[in-house]
Amino acid sequence: GPVPPKPAAAPVAKKPRIGRPAYQVFKSRDGDTNQRCLSFELSFPEIADDLQPRHRFMSAFEQRVEAPPDRRYQYLLFAADPYETVAFKVPNEPIDKEPGRFVTHWDPEEKKFTLTMYFQKEQPQEEAAAAKK
């Protein structure tokens, strides 16, 4: 049959995803407070020079990967074109928002994104019980 005419303006093709970034996750505890710490280090060598990765938290009820949702966990997402978004499952516990306790760092030379987070101090059982009254 006849070849249909080409549209005048082709829509701009989205860049194909190039897979997941390489990553490492470190677990530790603060020697003074005994708070649990998670540190994520992700490499994005192919990211555009003017971009930097974004992160956000997602509740178990927002995500569509695991069913049924498990309220004991939340998800930490990292996104950067042209990489696939990666999600890490972390305990759904209060995060310490004090200065120096939730730190993100983008290294534009190394193309590495680091996020370090601490969970709030675990209350001793007696304190926790008293707080509920």
Q: Is the pLDDT of residue 38 over 80?
A: yes
The pTM (predicted TM-score) of the whole model is: 0.78
Give pLDDT, residue 6.
Answer: 60
User: Mean pLDDT throughout 90-98?
Assistant: 95
Give pLDDT, residue 8.
Answer: 59
> Would you place residue 40 in the very low, low, confident or very high pLDDT band (cuts 50, 70, 90)?
very high
Determine the Cα–Cα distance for residues 73 and 99; give it in Å rounded to an integer: 24
Determine the Cα–Cα distance for residues 109 and 104; give it in Å rounded to an integer: 16
User: Mean pLDDT throughout 78-105?
Assistant: 95
Give pLDDT, residue 16.
Answer: 76
Give pLDDT, residue 90.
Answer: 96
> Which residues contact residue 71 at a Cβ distance below 8 angstroms, ignoring those fewer than 6 apart?
60, 61, 92
Higher pLDDT, 93 or 65: 93
pLDDT digit string (tens) for 101-129?
999 999 999 999 999 999 998 766 555 55
Most confident range, picked from 61-65, 67-71, 120-124: 67-71
> Which residues contact residue 87 at a Cβ distance below 8 angstroms, ignoring those fewer than 6 apart?
58, 63, 65, 75, 76, 77, 78
